Structure 1
């Protein structure tokens, strides 16, 4: 039973049901217990208050720490909770552990100034200009509105914009230079198509990178927390759907541009089906193709083959014009993130012969339901800020506000106990602030790094709108 499982990586503890796991950082553990700052318990005549023993105990020292770890007896001679393990430790091991605990939670923290807390947001040069501006407008106003006012015992927040330039190979150096010039405690929101270089920077530096607007997150996040897993989720969801059918197709043909992010969805689908009795064929292309090229791109297709199109809206439109009817009756699946079929009149461009068997892999809430929820949860705030929801940017606006709100709640709980690890742990508990996100289900928990974890399959109705076809699928 490792200490980190309950006391967390930060050492700041947690709450599990009615069990309170206290902080064990050096400044707390080796000082007398203290009640929560600014908290006055309710009292009534004839009743005595019994507080948690860790708030009323004397300071720990070497003998008291040894007795607590070996025998389960706290510094105030109160038995520790039965969930606290007892350890067999030598004197040398105890001394090493005490030295480490004394250092935990001490020392300067990057981005924490004497009077201000520095945050940053990253914008990559491949971000769409309209989505970039929508993100910037919401984030700047939200951070300014949620920042503590000066003189209230907390540091006001200062938000910097780190706009990157040039090819991705140079982004890491630019980020490191920015961090040297003015360290940031955390990166909040941000926007970019290919986020991998930013992700690698965040993981290497250990700086929290919270909910950027990207469909291509980096792998295996620890310091980064994302809105959703990106394109790999679409591939995993489709694989789950196909494996749950009565009969798995024997052939799947997927079309994608290897230079675009659809390659990640294609790779995820292929990897999820590697142990299944199905053959996955990749048909790749680069750059825009004319209708004749699209007609020659697809191999001969059987009626039982499944066709998966990882295509942007322009490429999808050209392919649909080159084939008046689907080449297979077994099903056609389209990436909802790439195709953007929710934007009228894009879905109406899909010819009627294609619509019956075509399904859109859609990792967001249904368009009308999502917009209604955003109007309810975000519209009033947007109006007070002189902003308005727009159909082509509302996903970015809602997700950015969710990123700001979750971060703000965590920072307020953090108080003056500045720790990047503690911030990440509080973010895992503050996800309720995501009421305006683009996703119907958004949850986090200890160690979780993706807020939304599933997708719908959508069909195209006669009027060109998208409608949910089945349950929310979590692979």
Structure 2
């Protein structure tokens, strides 16, 4: 099951080691350098090929030479250079040369045309257009710069910028997959442009905040979209307390911390626990036993949260292992460590109900396939419905998060929304929706509970 195979990856981000911090080139500055001088990251001369075989470097292939200082293009000799401002390229029907395609560009198709000369509709450009040797972050910087190139300096502070935060490539498999998805958001059905993300790649959480604060110092009219916060949620919140910048669709296993400006969060582990406790109480379970991992700080924190919820909501009485065998009431077990079927077989009673956030299930196990399990019932909590309706296909967390982000990017491009006027509900596909700033109860109501039942033989 796709979600279950990500457990160790989700927790693995907590183990990122400290390394020397180094500020990367600002995406706007990087894009300007490529556009005006043909100089890329770390001062390297960008290489390119024209007429299929002629290799050029640096200033000889700088975009400014043909497209002009304002990127509006124009004619010179026999060359007609188009307007390549990003606002124009990403329009549903941007102005193009006669017989040119009316399809808009997104980050994926723009990368393709720069590297191969093939347009969004696979039309081959004139061979005088260079085929560039550009890395992903260099292309992203060029897109960001093309989005600001015709803006007067005094209006820069009024332009909404969308920032992303992801670990550098190779540090986390989930983050790499999310990055790939966000670079390939599909074009919307009505042709709405997909707004580009100014992605900041970091080594450590400390490095992430240095890069983010450096970018925000130039323009506070921003929002942070889909930052990868696994394992450093509280550190991020504390670092962002000095500003009012929204954090939209955070990639986190925990709920939005109190007083945070998080928008459209998925239900975190706290709301998943509450949803499981509510389900147990609705089934008539009166007592709760909690399995946690004493040496795991996340597990022990969640155990304390669960005990407080059980008391605050008047749902279940907390009991320990030695008491359990003498109780006649139905007992629920909340698993806040890796689910262990061997432990279930040895210590559990016939009427017990296992409550399990999906993150604590072994990747090798699948719902409805707990061999040798003596429990009758298992309730498993997900932050979204993991199964496509009427299908046997299981959704991956990356597909779901990326789908929400791409939908948000299309809304920004279509409606030109501001950070102070975000929609109250984000809805995509047919059965997914998120609220802008939900509380704990509302988040818990969004949790999907899979009720896996296995009767004893």
Normalised by the length of structure 2, the TM-score is 0.53
Distance in structure 2 (CA, Å) of the matches to 1:110 and 1:299: 65
Distance in structure 1 (CA, Å) of the matches to 2:207 and 2:192: 35
Q: Is it true that 1:420 corresponds to 2:412 in the alignment? A: no
Distance in structure 1 (CA, Å) of the matches to 2:156 and 2:432: 33
Which residue among 173, 176, 192 is the counterpart of 1:130? 173
Q: Is it true that 1:444 corresponds to 2:435 in the alignment? A: yes
* Coordinate RMSD, CA, aligned: 4.1
Q: Secondary structure at the match of 1:351?
A: coil
Q: Per-residue CA shift, 1:158-215, capped at 9, x if unaligned?
A: 422222333x566544432343367672212232312232334445321121112211
* Cα gap change, 1:197 to 1:359, in 2 (>3 Å): same
The match for 2:18 is: none
Which residue among 262, 270, 278 is the counterpart of 1:240? 278
Q: Is it true that 1:369 corresponds to 2:389 in the alignment? A: yes
CA contact (8 A) 1:254 1:308 kept: yes
Q: Is it true that 1:121 corresponds to 2:164 in the alignment? A: yes
- Offset at 1:228? 2.0
The match for 1:228 is: 266
Q: Is it true that 1:209 corresponds to 2:247 in the alignment? A: yes
The match for 1:403 is: 405
The match for 1:338 is: 359
- Offset at 1:338? 1.4
Q: Select between 202-211 and 268-277 the one with higher mean Cα deviation.
A: 268-277
Q: Secondary structure at the match of 2:230?
A: coil
Distance in structure 1 (CA, Å) of the matches to 2:211 and 2:388: 40
Distance in structure 2 (CA, Å) of the matches to 1:197 and 1:126: 22
The match for 2:371 is: 351
- Offset at 1:448? 4.0
CA contact (8 A) 1:199 1:217 kept: no
CA contact (8 A) 1:111 1:118 kept: no
Q: Is it true that 1:458 corresponds to 2:450 in the alignment? A: yes
Distance in structure 1 (CA, Å) of the matches to 2:284 and 2:414: 51
Distance in structure 1 (CA, Å) of the matches to 2:404 and 2:307: 33
Answer 1 or 2: higher relative contact order, Cα 8 Å, separation at least 6: 2
* Cα gap change, 1:301 to 1:135, in 2 (>3 Å): same
* Cα gap change, 1:405 to 1:362, in 2 (>3 Å): closer
Distance in structure 2 (CA, Å) of the matches to 1:177 and 1:121: 13
* Cα gap change, 1:163 to 1:356, in 2 (>3 Å): same
Distance in structure 2 (CA, Å) of the matches to 1:127 and 1:264: 29
Q: What residue ranges of structure 1 are gaps of 5+ in the alignment?
A: 1-106, 150-155, 283-297, 376-390, 464-475
Question: 1:75-474 maps to which residues of 2 (within 5 A)?
Answer: 112-113=158-159, 118-124=161-167, 129-142=172-185, 157-166=195-204, 168=205, 171-180=208-217, 185-194=222-231, 195-220=233-258, 223-246=261-284, 248-249=286-287, 251-257=288-294, 259-275=296-312, 276=314, 278-280=316-318, 299=322, 301-302=324-325, 304=329, 305-311=331-337, 315-316=338-339, 319-340=340-361, 345-347=365-367, 350-369=370-389, 394-414=396-416, 419-422=418-421, 426-429=422-425, 431-432=426-427, 434-435=428-429, 440=431, 442-444=433-435, 448=438, 453-460=445-452
CA contact (8 A) 2:335 2:357 kept: no
The match for 1:9 is: none
CA contact (8 A) 2:276 2:381 kept: yes
- Offset at 1:234? 1.6
- Offset at 1:136? 0.8
Q: Secondary structure at the match of 1:402?
A: helix
* Cα gap change, 1:246 to 1:206, in 2 (>3 Å): same
Distance in structure 1 (CA, Å) of the matches to 2:295 and 2:212: 27
How many matched pairs? 295
Q: Per-residue CA shift, 1:230-261, capped at 9, x if unaligned?
A: 01102211232233344522x53332456353
